[in-house]
A and B are shown apart, each in its own frame.
Chain A
Amino acid sequence: MAEEPVRISKPKRWDIPFGKDMTEADVEMLMQQAPFNTIDASKFPASAPLWGILLNDAQIRRFENGDIIVREGDYGNSAFFIINGAVQVILDSLPPRMLGRRESQKKNFFQSLAQLWQRPPHPEVRDYVQRKAAGTATAEVNARTSGATATADVEVRTSGRKTNEVSIFLQDVPRILSENHTARLEEGEMFGEIAALGRSPRTATVIADGRTQLLEIRWQGLREIRRYAPEWKARLDQLYRERSLDKHLRATEFLNKLAPEAFKQVFDNTRFETYGDFEWQSTYHSGGDDAPQGRLAKEPLIFREGDYPDGIVLIRSGFARVSRKYNHGERTLRYLGRGQFIGLEEIASSWKSDEVVPLQNTLRAIGYVDLLVIPTAIVQEHILPQFSAAEIQHLQIQPSEEPALDLEQEITRKLGPDMLEFLVDNRTINGTATMLIDLDRCTRCDDCVRACASTHNNNPRFIRHGREMNAIMVTNACMHCVDPVCMIGCPTGAIHRESFQGQVVINDDTCIGCATCANSCPYDNIQMVDTRDRSGFFILDEVARTPIMKATKCDLCIDQLGGPACARACPHDALIRIDMRDVDRLATFINR
């Protein structure tokens, strides 16, 4: 008990504002002009007043002509409102080189090596003197669009006002505009909300069209506004649908090759449907361990086996479970993720034939799922004619076959039915870097944990336990989900997507230890830890007298040279980090 524990006030939301030089004046200015002046500020709660939101969750940013505002594929957590000027949305994908992609900040060799001796002896040691500095630094970093490397197509320029603000701009904008489909957005419009609200990567690259002034609102702020200002909700949803629809349809292969007018037809007639709860993890948690039937019952039904197929169903986001009756139960055949679709075969089979082929499978929403439905009529009228006879033949379901040897069979055969059920039930399918341990090979040597600890300042970032099936253990480590529900509700945005590779990481400096993410994570993969000072004592909150807590989780060794240390450290090939969408790799790992 040599020294007194360090005492500081527990960090709160807005401790670190989104833009560090957002001033009251700016807020006032905004409040005066549309559309903010139309918002009824009284609807906002005292905890999150509109001006507070604008002050802390928003910032004003200025761009020169050709500046890249957002880049397709980036995981942004903010939306942009055009104060003045205009922007061009490039609907086609630009080559990454043109976008000046950068590698995330990795340690260099010596920094890495230094971890050998710089490791503190105690767990969860934080150096708060450094933290202050680091905090501002990160704020700055957030303030940027991105750091950039000069390439042939892009240049880095620092605009005069903020020397630390770096922006990328494209040369020869006219050429780019002429070569690609673009959409021009004028003053008063907004963009980026899809990524902001859907926790999805940016769907398009947006560049400034002439001098432009934007209000960037991070998604926590946007969420609040959406919640308390109905007209905004309507508007947002409207935008949200249109833009994502266009983008999404184009992303779908067999729609992409349609003739323009046919595409137009599809575009106009596509329905939007949403199943399940946007914040599904709460319900999931409550029913974590109950029986499969119960779980199935909980999952919202999209359509049922034997129904009349009323259209092709495309998954926009979230997951859906494809199942089929099996004696007294239902057997899961596969799961559909973003960009996958179902129902084409049935429609194709019943096309130009008197008897109708009913839906072969049942489709359920796993948690929250966003769907596009292309009505049967449209399909038969505009889509099927585009197919060759052979393709139709291939698509059609022969009633004789029982059951049809199709993809369901394929994937079930690869993973084994029970494994598939297991993965879907536990929603492991959500993971892009799920840690699986083959218990038939794992000698419990803890090398993975130790490696993790030594790459994270002597702190492991996962626990070597978890649910297992057929000696495959889904380890208690962050899966870096396709649909990272943990990010919902983080008051400070400390938990965010790494801009390029999309790892979900927590910015320790801005984390306030509110445990929201830990609670949201359906997989208990986020741990709350008590921070300590160098002498190993807890850092106590002056008031609450509880140790300052931080949310911690696997960051896929984002700043390490070799990538995830756990996988590299396993001497027995028992541990992998795997993207659950890569069924082949998964199957190989399971069946070896």
Chain B
Amino acid sequence: MWTGLQLSSTAEVNPLHLRRVGFIAGLIAASAIAWGIDIVLSVSLRQAAIYSGFLLLTLVLGLTLFNSRKKLPFLPLARASTWLQIHIYAGFFCAFIFLLHVRFSPPHGPLETLLALVFCVVILSGFFGIFISRFFPSRMALSGEPLIYERIPAYRREIQENVEALIRRAETETQSSTLADFYLSQLRPFFHRLPSALEALGGMDRRSGRLLKELTALNRYLNDAEKAIAAEMRDWIQTTQNLHYQYAAQRLLKLWLFVHIPFTYSLILIALVHAALALIYAGKV
């Protein structure tokens, strides 16, 4: 190219889509193969459950490695994104093998039931995790400026201080208490109280919408100076709404791991006991 700008006119295929298709294909293939093998094994009067059990245990342990990789970012292990992809699809595979292992019916023994429950907790929390990890980011991006979770307390304080300064200014500069009254009656709780996750995430934060309307309604009582301040206040309300959303969403995105990770270890422990018992009583391959 004349300008040395290297441009290729190849039509872009979204690499992520390609990857997803590939993985899903792989997942289906693997599941099919596993199912086939399971059938063949049971036909051959072997204890298919022992094989699927071993596979399941290996998978679970393998999936746990993802966590350890996160703790070793300095080693030239594969990219975390690759790990996650494998983690996700291996997880789905795991779920399928689990169904094979329990013969698509709830287990009978108490220990087995406990194990199955813990397994479901882990797997389902995992599915939930994938869902929210794909669902919230884009919405957070739309909601407003991205905020760092750890800084949110500081931001809230900043907002509160700014808003109060603003109100004080309104009082001093305009000698009218319209905005101040409105602030005390309506805005203050809004700025000072964090909404519940449901409030914040469940569609739009109704409070802020209402407040904005009421603020507009106030315009008739305001002079230009106050209008300017009101406009600024408007910004703060929207900012706060965004802050509430960011806070709730990020909190959720962090909290789901509080279920997923602890119960994984619990799962491994019970699984090991279960495996040992199975080997002792049900015999070998």
- Answer yes or no: A and B touching, Cβ < 8 Å: yes
Q: Chain A's nearest CB lies how many Å from the CB of B89?
A: 14
What are the residues of chain B within 8 A of A583 when measuring CB–CB? 5-7
Contact with B along A327-342 (1 / 0, CB 8 A): 0000000101001111
**How far apart sit A112 and B145, CA to CA, in the bound complex (Å)?**
36
Bound complex: CA A334 to CA B3 (Å): 11
Contact status of A439 and B140, CB under 8 A, knowing A568-B80, A571-B81? yes
**How far does the alpha carbon of A473 sit from the alpha carbon of B8 in the complex, in Å?**
25
Complex CA distance for A218 and B16, rounded to whole angstroms:
47
Q: Which of A573-592 contact B (CB under 8 A)?
A: 573-574, 582-584, 587-588, 591-592
Query: Which residue in chain B gives the minimum CB-CB distance to A470?
Result: B141
Q: With A473-B146, A572-B84 as given contacts, are A411 and B77 in contact (CB-CB < 8 Å)?
A: no
Across-interface contacts of A352 in B (CB, < 8 A) = none
For residue B9, which residues in chain A have a CB less than 8 angstroms away from its CB? 410
Chain B: minimal CB distance from A118 (Å): 11
**Which one, A395, A444, A571, contacts B250 given CB within 8 A?**
A444
Q: Find out whether the CB atom of B74 lies under 8 angstroms from the CB atom of A565.
A: yes
B249 (CB) vs chain A CBs: closest residue: A444
Give the residue name and chain of the B residue nearest to A561 (CB): B76
Residues of A within 8 A of B258 (CB): none
Instruction: With CB as the reference atom, state the residue of chain A lying closest to B73.
Output: A451
| Known contacts A407-B7, A572-B81; A116 and B253 CB within 8 A of each other | no
Measured between beta carbons, the chain B residues less than 8 angstroms from A471 are: 138, 141-142
- What's the least CB distance linking B257 to chain A, in Å? 9
A562 lies within 8 A of chain B by Cβ = yes
- CB-defined contacts of B253 to chain A, threshold 8 Å: 443-445
Q: Is the CB of A454 within 8 A of B74?
A: yes
The answer to whether B70 has its CB under 8 Å from any CB of chain A is yes
Contact A411 B16 (CB under 8 A): no
Closest beta carbon of chain B to A230's beta carbon, Å: 37
Complex alpha-carbon distance, A443 and B77, angstroms: 22
Per-residue B-contact encoding for A88-117, CB less than 8 Å = 1, 0 else = 000000000000000000010100110110
What separation, in Å, do the CA atoms of A341 and B16 have in the docked complex? Answer: 35
Q: What separation, in Å, do the CA atoms of A568 and B69 have in the docked complex?
A: 11
**Size of chain B's interface in residues, with CB distance under 8 A?**
41
Contact at B7–A592, with CB atoms within 8 Å? Answer: no
B2 on interface, CB distance cutoff 8 Å: yes
Q: Is B285's beta carbon under 8 Å from chain A?
A: no
A32 to chain B, nearest CB (A): 48
Contacts of B71 in A (CB 8 A): 116, 454
Given A443-B253, A447-B80, A569-B70, A336 contacting B138 (CB threshold 8 A): no
In the complex, whether A253 has a CB less than 8 A from a CB of chain B is: yes
Contact partner of A442 (CB less than 8 A), chosen from B76, B132, B137, B254, is: B137
Question: A residues 448-462 with Cβ under 8 Å of B?
Answer: 450-451, 454-455
**Is the C-beta of B14 less than 8 angstroms from some C-beta in chain A?**
yes
| Cα(A440)–Cα(B71), bound, Å | 25
Instruction: Provide the main secondary structure of the chain A interface.
Output: mixed
B75 touches A573 (CB 8 A): no
State whether A440 touches B75 (Cβ < 8 A): no
Instruction: Say how far A300's CB is from chain B's closest CB, in angstroms.
Output: 21
Q: Which of B194-242 contact A (CB under 8 A)?
A: none
B12 touches A410 (CB 8 A): no
CA distance A220 to B12 in the complex (A): 46
Specify which chain B residues have a CB less than 8 angstroms from the CB of A181 in the assembled complex. Answer: none
- Asked whether B149 is an interface residue with its Cβ less than 8 Å from the other chain, the reply is yes
- Is residue B33 contacting chain A, with contact meaning CB distance below 8 A? no
Distance in Å from the Cβ of B151 to the closest Cβ of chain A?
9
Q: How far is the CA of A447 from the CA of B76 in the complex (A)?
A: 16
Interface flag for B72 (CB, 8 Å): yes
Taking CB atoms, residues of chain A closer than 8 Å to B141 are: 439-440, 468, 471
A554 CB, nearest partner CB in chain B, Å = 14
User: Is B148 at the interface (CB under 8 A from chain A)?
Assistant: yes
Interface pair B16/A592, CB less than 8 Å apart: yes
Bound form: Cα–Cα A478–B77 in Å: 24
CB neighbours of A464 from chain B (8 A): 148
B residues 61-89 touching A (CB-CB < 8 Å): 70-77, 79-81, 83-84
Q: List A contacts of B264 (CB < 8 A).
A: none
Residues 275-302 of A, flagged 1 when their CB comes within 8 A of B and 0 if not, give 0000000000000000000000000000
Say how far B183's CB is from chain A's closest CB, in angstroms. 28
Q: A465 on the interface (CB 8 Å rule)? A: yes
**Chain A residues whose C-beta falls within 8 Å of the C-beta of B75 in the assembled complex:** 109, 112-113, 561-562
B88 nearest CB neighbor, chain A only:
A571
**Which chain A residues have a beta carbon within 8 Å of chain B's beta carbons?**
107, 109, 112-113, 115-116, 253-254, 334, 336, 339-342, 344, 395, 407, 410-411, 414, 439-447, 450-451, 454-455, 463-465, 468, 471, 473, 557, 560-562, 565, 567-574, 582-584, 587-588, 591-592
Listed from nearest, the 8 A-B pairs whose CB atoms lie closest are A451-B73, A562-B76, A439-B141, A571-B84, A471-B141, A561-B76, A573-B81, A440-B138
Q: Can you give 19 A-B contacts (C-beta < 8 A)?
A: A342-B3, A407-B5, A410-B9, A411-B5, A414-B7, A439-B140, A443-B133, A444-B148, A447-B80, A450-B73, A451-B73, A455-B73, A468-B145, A561-B74, A561-B75, A570-B79, A582-B6, A588-B12, A588-B15
